Copies of this chain bind each other. A is one copy, B any other.
Amino acid sequence: MKPVVVRNIPRASQNVIAQLAGFGVSTVHEAMGRYGLMKPYMRPIWAGASVAGSAVTVLAQPGDNWMLHVAVEQCKPGDLLVVGVTTDNTDGMFGELIGTSLKARGVVGLVIDAGCRDVKPLTEMGFPVWSRAVSSKGTVKATLGSVNIPVVCAGAAVNPGDVIVADDDGVVVVPLKEAEEVAIKSAERVANEDEKRRRLASGELGLDMYKMREALEKAGLVYVEDASKLG
């Protein structure tokens, strides 16, 4: 694989992206059929952020953040930078300076399968980052990678232009061509959940609301009065 930068990538409509941001990761992930989630070791560096954006992808070498500088130029307002690394690494590839640059270009956030540093200034400037580690470990600028090729980030396949949704629950990847449909299904799901929430809050049991009792009995679930009745 030769190092390459792809300049033009497809992107979902800002309208769809905004909707997906509003639904949040858990709803979108369910609406997709429980697919596309990054591994749960990806955590936000500060709580409360909730964003969505078009993936500009980077494949970087461990301990080398050269390609992040290259990637900045390829970002447009509304994009979200996604960094995969060729091997497990926690070095602090991203910090305040590149964050300042990304923010100046209208990038909505960063998802990196490595480390992040400058947690305090990044929090103060309100730039959201999801990373596998917080680490000051400085990196070199010595070896090429690529920008805007398909990458694997935290166990999820990401294509340039996919919609990335990220919040306190984690990070999910919505394939570009499914984005619209997922937004519609997410909306249905939310509508449906409001009603469920109300009923559960009033004391109705999920067992009844979801009509699970018959299936449980059929599957063989047995109720006994107390432990003395156990085999």
Check if B200 sits within 8 Å of A169, measured CB to CB: no
Q: Whole-angstrom distance between the alpha carbons of A60 and B131 in the complex?
A: 24
Q: Digit string of A212-225 for contact with B (CB within 8 Å is 1, else 0)? A: 10001001111111
Q: Is A3 an interface residue (CB 8 A)?
A: yes
Residue among A8, A64, A92, A133 facing the most chain B CB atoms (10 A cut-off): A92
- Residues 81-122 of A, flagged 1 when their CB comes within 8 A of B and 0 if not, give 000001111111001111011011100000000010111100
A25 to B118, CA, bound (A): 9
Please, which residue of chain B has its CB at the minimum distance from the CB of A27?
B136
A170: nearest chain-B partner, CB-CB: B136
Chain B residues in 8 Å Cβ range of A7 = 223-226
Which residues of the partner chain B approach A156 to less than 8 Å between Cβ atoms?
152
Cα of A97 to Cα of B24 in the assembled complex, Å: 15
Question: In the docked arrangement, what's the CA distance between A155 and B41, Å?
Answer: 14
A160: nearest chain-B partner, CB-CB = B227
B137 near A4 with CB under 8 A, answer no
B221 and A3 form a contact (CB under 8 A) = yes
Given contacts A169-B117, A203-B104, contact A226 B5 (CB under 8 A): no
What CA separation (Å) do A97 and B72 show in the bound complex?
39
A184 at the binding interface (Cβ < 8 Å): no
A193, CB-defined interface residue at 8 Å: yes
The 5 closest A-B CB pairs, nearest first, are: A142-B142, A40-B135, A34-B138, A26-B136, A101-B200
**Residues of A in contact with B (beta carbons under 8 Å apart):** 1-9, 24-26, 29-30, 32-37, 39-40, 43, 48, 50, 61-64, 66, 69-70, 72-73, 86-92, 95-98, 100-101, 103-105, 115, 117-120, 133-138, 140-144, 148-150, 152, 155-157, 160, 167-170, 172, 193, 196-197, 200-203, 205-207, 210, 212, 216, 219-227, 229-231
